[in-house]
Chains A and B, each alone.
Chain A
């Protein structure tokens, strides 16, 4: 069974700080996706990474897929209160259908 772990579980920082959250597994994934979930809403897709070593940038967010496709990181530069939310990583199997979700990192950015 493929499992994803995320760290830290909770993170509270001041506006303007940088942060990195991690998504790790002992399994190889064909792709990893990052989502952000607000209370009472569904996960909203941020990015998909497919190639080992791939780096994608989305404004102040930088996503990296590990070379071995077992882990990923999300780095946020100059965090803002609007970045507050639950960040989830999800890994796809070879067919990309059966997604396994990590437990999430709950980020609070204080003004």
Chain B
């Protein structure tokens, strides 16, 4: 069964550095998402992306964050000037469509900011 893949599985970065988290969504899916899960807390929506533009974003997704689909397969989340509180699991998801279509999640990237 096709799945969403994320790389790297674990990223350790010094505070203030930039990180790029990568995702390969399921190939025929059109909608892409990033979520964050701080240790011990619930999964939080960051952003949704469709047709090469952001369709919705949460208040967490400020100017520090950006997303891109640089080619036909990758979907990236860039975090500029990382802060300690950015440490979390970051999950990518994709869905075939909107309107109640199920979202399929990758296994996440654990981001640790030192």
Residues of A with Cβ closer than 8 Å to B?
A: 30-31, 33, 35, 40-45, 48, 50, 88, 90, 92, 95-104
A-contacting residues of B (Cβ < 8 Å)? 4, 6, 31, 33, 35, 41-45, 48, 50, 55-56, 58, 91, 93, 95, 98-108, 110
Could you tell me if B91 and A42 are in contact, using CB atoms closer than 8 angstroms? yes
Q: Decide yes or no: A43 and B43 within 8 Å by CB, A30-B100, A95-B98, A96-B98 being known contacts.
A: yes
The residue from A42, A50, A96, A98 contacting B105, defined by CB atoms under 8 A apart: A42
In the complex, A41 Cα to B106 Cα: how many Å?
8
What would 8 A/B residue contacts be, using CB atoms closer than 8 Å? A31-B100, A40-B110, A50-B100, A90-B43, A98-B45, A98-B58, A101-B43, A101-B44
- CB of B30 to closest CB in A, whole Å: 11
Contacts of A42 in B (CB 8 A): 4, 6, 91, 93, 105-108
Q: Considering the chains assembled together, what is the distance between the CA atoms of A40 and B6 in angstroms?
A: 13
The reply to whether A104 and B100 contact each other, CB–CB distance below 8 Å, is no
Q: Give me 5 other A-B pairs in contact (C-beta within 8 A), A98-B58, A99-B33 excluded.
A: A30-B100, A42-B6, A92-B100, A95-B56, A96-B100
Instruction: Determine the chain A residues whose CB is within 8 A of the CB of B42 once the complex forms.
Output: 88, 101-104
Asked if residues A88 and B43 are in contact (CB atoms below 8 Å), the reply is yes
List of 10 A-B pairs having minimum Cβ-Cβ separation, nearest first: A42-B105, A31-B100, A101-B43, A103-B42, A96-B100, A97-B48, A42-B107, A96-B99, A43-B105, A96-B98
CB distance from A63 to the nearest CB of B (A): 13
Complex Cα spacing A44 to B106, Å: 9
- A-chain residues with CB within 8 Å of residue B55 when the two chains form the complex: 97
Q: How far is the CA of A98 from the CA of B43 in the complex (A)?
A: 12
